[in-house]
Amino acid sequence: MQKIKLTNKTIFNIACVAIVVILLGYLQATEIENSYAITIIERSCIYAVAAVSMNLMIGFTGQFSLGTAGFMCLGAYITGIFTMPIEIRDQVYYLYGMASFIHNIQVPLVVALLISGVIGAIIAFLIGWPVLRLKSDYLAIANLGFSEIVRAVLGWDGLGKITNASYGLSNIPAFSSIFQAVIICGVCIALMLLMINSSYGRAFKAIRDDDIAAEAMGINLFKIKQLAFVVSSFFATVAGGLMAVFLRSAATSTFTVALTYNILLMVVIGGIGSVSGSVLGAFLITAGQEWLRFLDKEYYIGSFKVPFTRTGFRMVIFSVLLMLFVLFWNKGIMGSKEFSFDWFKNIYKSIKRRIRRKKNV
């Protein structure tokens, strides 16, 4: 067991966490005035989990998998089913009537998330068996297809007694506080980070960089790919569950291919192969869509109407910005580096060095 040393760095990290906690505490205390900010933070955190889980496949294992929305959809339904208050179930399932074997099961949120994660992982294990033998583009399209299949199955009225078919689930209890959302997301991301930094993570990266060389080094390609896929799907499913809690409802129409693309763009903007990049990307894209909201309004200067701004213009500008990113900065903000406070230290040092040089002159 290593002794925990109290270096400057640990103190600094603890201070940062404390600042975040205080900020969140402030937001929580003034919940009514700041509900908008809380919504954005919660949404960003959930997207961050989904983005990191996608990055685990795309950025670290090099498998272009686009099935995130399907797993999220699955997670949303399972979590919704297990957390919905029992007394309200008959009302939500008024058309089909809820199947009796799940009618009286209600579990705490964390347990429900775990259940959905495990089911997602099992399904990933099963479909990974045929699908992961495919190469890049085929894998992408097969997983896209899988997520469409999941949506169709969950929306099928044959399963109406369980999933409420196309009516979806509603009245799912919300997060008890912003802390609950942030902590669950933080734990998920931390777990994935641990995975990436373990020997398995190194195997992932070996496959990404050169799968044939990795195989020659004794890595069981298929097993490791499947492991990455199962872990990634576990967290994507959990992210879906969190999404359902955040939206307080679950419907197949939320989890379309467009959602997968959205998360993919977060991963790309943040940097393929960087966990902190994906988190940053998730926050930037979620917040960016809100910041650009002014473009959706119509403005008049006197009787002159400002051209172009009207509903939908925001997303056009937003997608142009994304395209510029993809074309001219395709490494993303972080590239494949991770965020660390040493950067600031280095910047500080270099500034100090420059000042000193000036003094010497």
Q: Which residues bind other proteins (CB under 8 A)?
A: 58, 64, 130-131, 133-134, 136-138, 140-142, 144-146, 148-149, 151-153, 155-157, 212, 257-258, 261, 264-265, 268, 272, 310-313, 315-316, 318-320, 322-323, 326-327, 330
Query: How many helices (DSSP H) and strands (DSSP E) are in the chain?
Result: 16, 4
For other proteins, the closer CB: 180 or 226: 226
For other proteins, the closer CB: 194 or 320: 320
Q: Smallest gap, in angstroms, from Cβ of residue 195 to other proteins?
A: 22
For other proteins, the closer CB: 84 or 269: 269
Q: Smallest gap, in angstroms, from Cβ of residue 334 to other proteins?
A: 16
Q: Tokens representing 351?
A: 């500034």
Q: Smallest gap, in angstroms, from Cβ of residue 20 to other proteins?
A: 31
Backbone conformation region of residue 308, classed left if phi is above 0, alpha if psi is from -120 to 50, else beta: left
Backbone conformation region of residue 21, classed left if phi is above 0, alpha if psi is from -120 to 50, else beta: alpha
For other proteins, the closer CB: 21 or 141: 141
For other proteins, the closer CB: 31 or 157: 157
Q: Smallest gap, in angstroms, from Cβ of residue 180 to other proteins?
A: 32
CA 186 to chain centre: 11
Q: Smallest gap, in angstroms, from Cβ of residue 266 to other proteins?
A: 12
Q: Smallest gap, in angstroms, from Cβ of residue 327 to other proteins?
A: 6
CA 55 to chain centre: 9
For other proteins, the closer CB: 89 or 151: 151
Residue 53, Cβ density class (10 Å: 0-12 exposed, 13-18 middle, ≥19 buried): buried
Inter-axis angle of helices 178-197 and 8-29, to 10 degrees? 150
The Cα–Cα gap between 53 and 50 comes to 5
The Cα–Cα gap between 250 and 155 comes to 11
